Structure 1
């Protein structure tokens, strides 16, 4: 097992890029909003409905994604998902009418989540040994952030050049072609590079993992307290990930930040992402994933508390930037531990899909209710008060997450001791 992750670095890099690129097609319309709107002759309501169609199918896909991931080979699921997403991207080049666009976005909710996301998590878990899970997911999340920075800069440059030389619509066409081609190429690369893990577990798990779906395994997972604790950890930290973009308008409203500075604060999150993710992975494997989670919640709580009490004056804008950096880094550090911490819960890699079902349904539900909560806060309380109430709610969820992490440590005490012992034996050998 020694150096397992190091041997699989080329495959991990491909998975990182694939994990970023497959979501560019469903979301790129947000970055080229006006051009997309005009090219496809849509209203703003229709544009928003495309996102809703994608979101609804994503929610359904989260429910069935675990079933799919544990039934079919990971390699096939990842490759087929990328192929299908890329092919659907090419259909955009026909500039179809709105009803067809709606179907394309709904289909992307299936190809990027149901057949892809849980299979991707399972693949990343399989590339590392038990005491390397922190690094694996830290590098995975941090790498996705770095890939996003590079990809967005290259594509934006390509779009700007072609828009100036030709037209906005042709520039948009080039963006669609680029993303579609990349998805299909990555599908072929995964098909060639990724190797299915050898099942070294008991005959019982081998037999059950080969079945279509074993409800007994799901029932056993639901009875484990670690399942519900992990779901709460994802829910409380993902709520911040769903709400951090409200920091940008808050900076404008409370601190008088200019539009350019406010936009820069939004992009700043992507530069903090690799720092938080890489750091979380490396430190987590050294001190224990759950210890890293506790630190992450503590730092996030400090950042949110400071954001709430900091006086809204232009002279404090630099101090605001420091606290925002603390929030972003800790937020992404926690995101990197969402599935790395499963190793302490003693879940075999072979049933990752089944484990992920309740975790994603509960954990990612913040994607549905947090925008509603935020909107209600901003509508009910005028000025900056609404933002402070929202940040106070997030602070409360952070404290709940911290308490949950402490309980997690007590429940997983024996498994964590076994992981430490295994690490010492590996170092000794």
Structure 2
């Protein structure tokens, strides 16, 4: 078991790149919030509803994602997902009316989740031993952040150049083309180069047998009876709500601090520079001090950052201080994201049940995809100026406190399993 993750680094790199690029199209609107809003003639509420349409289909996809991931080859699932997502991206170039936009975002909820996400999580878990789960997911999330840093620098530079030379709308079109082409190219690369992880190779007959096999409801019922399942779902829900909403910091910087469109977009991309720090740090430290201890630290730091963001006066002279608090928020939220599935080892879930475990965790945990965009849009349309943003950040602070309390309860429930993991670490160091 020792060194299992190291042996699977090439496979992990492939998963990292694919796991980052497929979500650029569903989420890039948030980095160019004001430009997207104007180009498609949307209100804040309609903008939020696009995210909710995506979230509803994500929720449906989570229900079936585990079934799909446990029964078909990862290679095929990943490639098909990337192809479909890229093709839908090209449809945006027509600047369709709002109802068509809703359909596109709804379809992305299927292509990026049902046939992709659960299979991706299962693949990452299988690449590492029990005492390497923190590193595996920390490197995975950090690697996605590093990939985002490179991609965002290129795209932001392209957008800034074309916006200055031509127009914001044409610059936005170039961004759409770039992301759509990248998804399709990655789909081709995975089809040609990706190999199933060691121990996960199955013959065609075995794959067919899995596909024909009925869902094991007994395993699901056993998982639903475990208190750790519900606690893990709340941890994902409360931390993912921030990940669903941090994009609103970008228009907040424009409204409250007078930041330009380019600077605001740069602040959005700044999250990806903080992502490797939060993810790598969370994975490495989490494996040393315990994943749940890392979760508690993450919630505490996130609460401090949000509280500071709420009370900070909205003046241009405070924009550097704003950057500090934004960095705190970004680092802590990605540190928490890196623990979403690494913490399952403390809940004592075998890797082979990942698809089944993911069903209730994702349905509840990722439901923020549905309600947070609506909540955010409603806050901005109901309260004028910067007040709506501060109401939103206050709601997120409340959810962060709920997550912190849940993490403390988690530690009490998983006390015995955490002792076993600590003993395994000591034995491996001694050997």
TM-score of the aligned structures, taking structure 1 as reference length: 0.83
Conserved? CA contact 1:14–1:186, under 8 Å: no
**1:173: Cα distance to partner?**
7.9
Alpha carbons of structure 1 residues 371 and 308: separation in structure 2 relative to 1, 3 Å: same
Alpha carbons of structure 1 residues 255 and 27: separation in structure 2 relative to 1, 3 Å: closer
Alpha carbons of structure 1 residues 44 and 422: separation in structure 2 relative to 1, 3 Å: closer
Alpha carbons of structure 1 residues 370 and 82: separation in structure 2 relative to 1, 3 Å: closer
Per-residue CA deviation, residues 78-131 of structure 1 (Å, 9 max, x unaligned), is 233234434555777899999887765543332211010111111111111111
Conserved? CA contact 1:344–1:412, under 8 Å: yes
Conserved? CA contact 2:82–2:111, under 8 Å: yes
Conserved? CA contact 1:233–1:401, under 8 Å: yes
Larger mean CA deviation between 283-292 and 149-158 belongs to 149-158
Distance 2:33 2:313 in 1: 34
Conserved? CA contact 2:30–2:248, under 8 Å: no
**1:327: Cα distance to partner?**
1.2
**1:234: Cα distance to partner?**
0.7
Conserved? CA contact 2:53–2:370, under 8 Å: no
**1:364: Cα distance to partner?**
1.3
2:293 maps to 291
Conserved? CA contact 1:71–1:213, under 8 Å: no
Distance 2:312 2:374 in 1: 25
Distance 2:374 2:113 in 1: 23
Distance 1:221 1:372 in 2: 31
Larger mean CA deviation between 77-86 and 344-353 belongs to 77-86
Conserved? CA contact 2:90–2:177, under 8 Å: yes
Distance 1:299 1:319 in 2: 16
Distance 2:277 2:309 in 1: 21
Larger mean CA deviation between 68-77 and 48-57 belongs to 48-57
Distance 1:265 1:30 in 2: 11
Larger mean CA deviation between 99-108 and 394-403 belongs to 99-108
Alpha carbons of structure 1 residues 426 and 206: separation in structure 2 relative to 1, 3 Å: farther
Per-residue CA deviation, residues 118-164 of structure 1 (Å, 9 max, x unaligned), is 11111111111111111111111121122122123334556777899
Alpha carbons of structure 1 residues 37 and 311: separation in structure 2 relative to 1, 3 Å: closer
Distance 1:358 1:165 in 2: 49
Larger mean CA deviation between 217-226 and 99-108 belongs to 99-108
Alpha carbons of structure 1 residues 258 and 224: separation in structure 2 relative to 1, 3 Å: same
**1:258: Cα distance to partner?**
5.3
Conserved? CA contact 2:72–2:207, under 8 Å: no
Alpha carbons of structure 1 residues 273 and 212: separation in structure 2 relative to 1, 3 Å: same
Per-residue CA deviation, residues 367-393 of structure 1 (Å, 9 max, x unaligned), is 222233334444555554443333222
2:71 maps to 71
TM-score of the aligned structures, taking structure 2 as reference length: 0.82
Per-residue CA deviation, residues 192-243 of structure 1 (Å, 9 max, x unaligned), is 655545x999999999999331111111111110010001001111111222
State how many pairs are aligned: 428
Conserved? CA contact 1:209–1:351, under 8 Å: no
Across the aligned residues of Structure 1 and Structure 2, the Cα RMSD in angstroms comes to 4.3
Distance 2:387 2:98 in 1: 39
**1:352: Cα distance to partner?**
1.0
**1:419: Cα distance to partner?**
1.4
Distance 1:42 1:393 in 2: 24
Alpha carbons of structure 1 residues 223 and 244: separation in structure 2 relative to 1, 3 Å: same
Unaligned runs of 5+ in 2: none
**1:167: Cα distance to partner?**
11
Per-residue CA deviation, residues 275-305 of structure 1 (Å, 9 max, x unaligned), is 1111111111111111100000111111122
Per-residue CA deviation, residues 169-194 of structure 1 (Å, 9 max, x unaligned), is 99888766654554344335445655
Conserved? CA contact 1:142–1:275, under 8 Å: yes
Per-residue CA deviation, residues 21-51 of structure 1 (Å, 9 max, x unaligned), is 2223445566689999999999999998876
Distance 2:8 2:154 in 1: 27
Unaligned runs of 5+ in 1: none
**1:57: Cα distance to partner?**
2.5
